[in-house]
Amino acid sequence: MSRIGNNPVAIPDGVTVTVNENIITVKGKLGELNQEFSEVAIKVEEGNAYVERPSDSKAHRAKHGLYRSLINNMIQGVSTGWTKELELVGVGYRASNQGQKLDIAVGYSHNIVMDVAPEVKVETVSEKGKNPIVKLTSHDKQLVGQVAAKIRGFRKPEPYKGKGIKFVGEQLRRKAGKSA
């Protein structure tokens, strides 16, 4: 029995949730998100959204918790938004942005220039004596995660010195160097 799927999703003030056939639409102050769903029923009543499954088959149980979590992420996204922060750890690693173009230098012979999706706001913070930070903000949790993973993929943190692009607060698995 799905424990997450059984919980109702609270809909805050200023957010509207509509269900048309197999598409759920969530509108809020930060934007609008759509999600297609199947094999479950979604009801919106009295400020809550409920996800119900028709049977206890394995496919229905799997989708039950999934769609409840997706709806919760959509509602939270259009009301408060999602933020991911990436930290560039390494000597000479820099980040800057001009609008939606992110320019990062992470030890290659050339800078990496990336066009970020227009739904994601990019902000770079560079303070003297601290590692540069890239802040990604959007109402779409999946899109923020995808963009952050792509940026992190340019130079993943290595286990010996910890150099690379990592999420702020991420615990890296460190290894000992050569033993003499």
User: Between 147 and 5, where is the model more confident?
Assistant: 147
Q: What is the pLDDT of residues 140-165, one digit of tens each?
A: 999 999 999 999 999 999 999 999 99
Average pLDDT, the chain: 93
Residues 3-79: name the CATH superfamily: Ribosomal protein L6 (3.90.930.12)
Taking 90 as the threshold, does the pLDDT of residue 77 lie above it?
yes
Domain 82-167 CATH (choose: 3.40.50.720, 3.90.930.12, 3.90.180.10, 3.20.20.450) = 3.90.930.12
| Spans of all domains in the chain | 3-79, 82-167
pLDDT at site 179: 83
Do the domains spanning 3-79 and 82-167 agree at the CATH topology level? yes
pLDDT at site 2: 58
> What integer is the mean pLDDT of 19-31?
93
Q: What is the pLDDT of residues 101-144, one digit of tens each?
A: 999 999 999 999 999 999 999 999 999 999 999 999 999 999 99
Cα gap 134→148, rounded to integer Å: 9
pLDDT at site 178: 87
pLDDT at site 180: 72
> What integer is the mean pLDDT of 17-38?
94
Taking 80 as the threshold, does the pLDDT of residue 1 lie above it?
no
Q: 168 with 86: CB under 8 angstroms?
A: yes
pLDDT at site 54: 92
Cα gap 149→132, rounded to integer Å: 17
pLDDT at site 12: 94
3-state secondary structure string across 61-114: HHHHHHHHHHHHHHHHHHHCCEEEEEEEECCCCEEEEECCEEEEECCCCCCEEE
pLDDT at site 5: 86
